[in-house]
Amino acid sequence: MRSHLDRFFSAWMRHDPDKMAAFYTIDAIMEDPTLQEPRKGRESIREYYRAMFESLEDPEHDLLDYASRNDRIWFEWTFASGGTKTPRVSYRGVSIQDIPDGLIIHDHAFWSPNDD
């Protein structure tokens, strides 16, 4: 599972929505506090990453710690964005991913967009 996280965070830092979508099954579900409803399907998830990467200034995402059992992984992370155009903000959260056959079928993030 560590190799999955290394590849996932490396792809995220390249800010490439196609590479990020490739981690998910065609019918995957993504839940995040910033979404009014879960994203369903690889294409919808790809669009989520595209819009996010385009809207953020100098985004960063770092892995802090993780645990796994069977096909599930829990990981703690930090996220930051901003700089010269927008104030720099940072968040800390936890995600749970279900990865039964090497691809994410369910990705659920837990964090508060209002915390600094």
pLDDT at 112: 85
Do the bridges between strand 104-110 and strand 24-31 make them parallel or antiparallel, or are there none, so unpaired? parallel
Question: Could you read off the pLDDT tens digit of each residue along the chain, which spans 116 residues?
Answer: 889 999 999 999 999 999 999 999 999 999 999 899 999 999 999 999 999 999 999 999 999 999 999 999 999 999 999 999 999 999 999 999 999 999 999 999 999 876 55
Q: State residue 1's pLDDT score.
A: 83
Pairing of strands 60-69, 39-40: unpaired
